[in-house]
Structure 1
């Protein structure tokens, strides 16, 4: 698990939002094939690779299929599902409010959408290091000044998030981040996976090509370093 060495371990959890209706994709996004597995598998793998071992998944659309898949393929000690009964309203804020209380014992939580499979573990680590160094309450990556995912929050914000009602911009916490003022920090990164949505099948194929190319280049780089 991602930690820093102090007299008290700082525990970090992960929240994956996988409740959406998947209207543009036309099928359950978490169970949509991606490379040799599914989108949900890739998102979980990235969190694991970043050292996050306790992950909650908020389900909604096709809840039974998604939860059955996760229960079959993952240990309940590491992956726990929570159903969002209000998933049909289309706001991720309802999923965040449903899932975050299940992580109340953690000091920090990464919030991640299930349909951004190309984010690199290194980005999680950079956000974590920035959070500790800056002392901010929330940090978010940006690519070419465009905000992406994941978001890392200090769980001292939980009461404020649960009481927040203004889904500004029609989709969640934009207004809340603005409300935080100087306690919110944008972190420029070069990881284009942070903004690479997979809302359609064409975008999905593009994301597969991108990640394959990255892995190939990374493998070559490591081989050169070893020579």
Structure 2
């Protein structure tokens, strides 16, 4: 599938975090089906369509099932055996799989199915326009992932604590952090009610 909008940052990779056990949902949210595809397949396809490459899927509580869900897509899956330690552990596992080639890394989740390829590409365009070390989605009076970390921020991302999420790291940049309004990022599928709301759309 050719990218819709090639990213303006060379070697901009993507990490799709899919390591959790979906305890609040009661079933693997990565494998829930929306519009004919699993949420994980949709997230990977969206990152690819936005022009990010390579795309690395970080698995955890499930591995074989998630690899099967993205079979046929040009992505790499890496298993994080320490997934229960927190998001930071999965980010570090994904970065280790990427190696030193990536000069910018998009961190995104597999449970934000309303995010579009155009919105992910806008993060890269906004970074080019502002020169910010990191660009995050702004939504519901908050900010967070999907977020793009550039070369100057990758050292911080590599040193993230296992139990730490991306948001505290982004907050450290203060006014240097660039924000792109992405109200669709506020919707994630964490509960049966949220999944039903998604289907009702």
Name the TM tier (shorter chain): 0.7 to 0.9
**Corresponding position of 2:96:** 101
Secondary structure at the counterpart of residue 149 of structure 1? strand
Does the alignment pair 1:208 with 2:195?
no
Deviates more, 1:14-23 or 1:196-205: 196-205
Q: Which residue of 153, 169, 187 corresponds with 1:176?
A: 169
Give 1:105 deviation, angstroms: 0.8
The CA distance in 2 between the partners of 1:202 and 1:61, in whole Å, is: 22
Larger helix percent: 1
Q: Please list every run of 5 or more consecutive structure 1 residues that lacks an aligned counterpart in the other structure.
A: 211-227
User: Residue by residue, what CA displacement relative to the aligned partner does 1:127-183 show, whole Å, maximum 9, x if unpaired?
Assistant: 11110111111110112422243101113423222223385xxx5133322322343
**Corresponding position of 1:118:** 114
**Corresponding position of 1:215:** none
| Contact 2:92 2:160 (8 Å CA) reproduced | no
Q: Which residue of 72, 88, 96 corresponds with 1:74?
A: 72
Q: Please list every run of 5 or more consecutive structure 2 residues that lacks an aligned counterpart in the other structure.
A: none
Give 1:53 deviation, angstroms: 4.0
Tell me the TM-score normalised to structure 1 length.
0.78
Q: Which residue of 87, 96, 107 corresponds with 1:92?
A: 87
| Distance change >3 Å, CA 3–CA 115, structure 1 → 2 | closer
The CA distance in 2 between the partners of 1:53 and 1:162, in whole Å, is: 19
Does the alignment pair 1:50 with 2:50?
yes
| Distance change >3 Å, CA 105–CA 152, structure 1 → 2 | same
Q: Which of the pair has more CA radius of gyration?
A: 1
Q: CA RMSD in A?
A: 2.1
The CA distance in 1 between the partners of 2:190 and 2:11, in whole Å, is: 32
Secondary structure at the counterpart of residue 106 of structure 2? strand
Give 1:196 deviation, angstroms: 0.3
Q: Which residue of 131, 138, 143 corresponds with 1:135?
A: 131
Does the alignment pair 1:22 with 2:22?
yes
| Contact 2:138 2:183 (8 Å CA) reproduced | no
| Distance change >3 Å, CA 113–CA 166, structure 1 → 2 | closer
